[in-house]
Amino acid sequence: MRTFSRINAFGSPQVFLLKKQLLEPDGETWFKALLPIRPNGTTGFVLGRDLRLSTTPYRLVVDRRSFRLRLYRGCSLARTYPVGIGTGTTPTPVGEFYLTSLTKLPDPGTVYGPYAYGLSGFSDVLKTWKFGGIIGLHGTNDPSSIGRRSSHGCIRLFNRDIRALVKILPLGTPIEIH
């Protein structure tokens, strides 16, 4: 049993990626949801009346071999972006995740760039990192880090690309990393 507040640790509304709807004989609706906790891939059940449902036409796919992030709108590929990913000792985890938070950073000249999305996934090796090793999708002040293994597990984008994504991607957007 786990309780989630309506606001997460980053100050964003708590969101879940809903996987399946279940209707109980008593008329209650439950949803199987991907949860933003360790271990990655943990699911649980959330009572439908406790949720506000929304959808997005977008989804993201990260291909670690090609250092590419693909943005899909529905079934159509909308755009491809080059990315930097985790190193051999701090790899970007593989799996199904979703965007859980968005932070506009006060200084876009940092390693995180102007914006950082928090993901529902966690590093498999960094456990004492701030917020427990949450993986992010963010910009960077080091454009040379794009297209190679350069991060502590996060997915880095050129600043212009993260700015473009922030304009369209809501929290809850699914992101598959393989």
DSSP 8-state secondary structure symbol assigned to residue 107 = -
How many Cα atoms occupy the beta-carbon half-sphere of 59 within 13 Å?
Answer: 13
* Cβ neighbour number for residue 178 with a 10 Å cutoff: 10
- Amino acid at residue number 137: L
Q: Which of 147, 82, 152 is nearest to 112 (CA)?
A: 152
Tokens at 123, concatenated: 């590093």
Known catalytic residue: 154? yes
Tokens at 107, concatenated: 């200084």
Known catalytic residue: 138? yes
Give the C-alpha separation, 155 to 86, whole Å: 7
- Could you write out the DSSP letters of every residue in 113-142? -SEEEEEEEE-SS--SSGGGTEEEEE--S-
Give the C-alpha separation, 73 to 61, whole Å: 12
- Amino acid at residue number 17: L
Catalytic residues: 138, 154
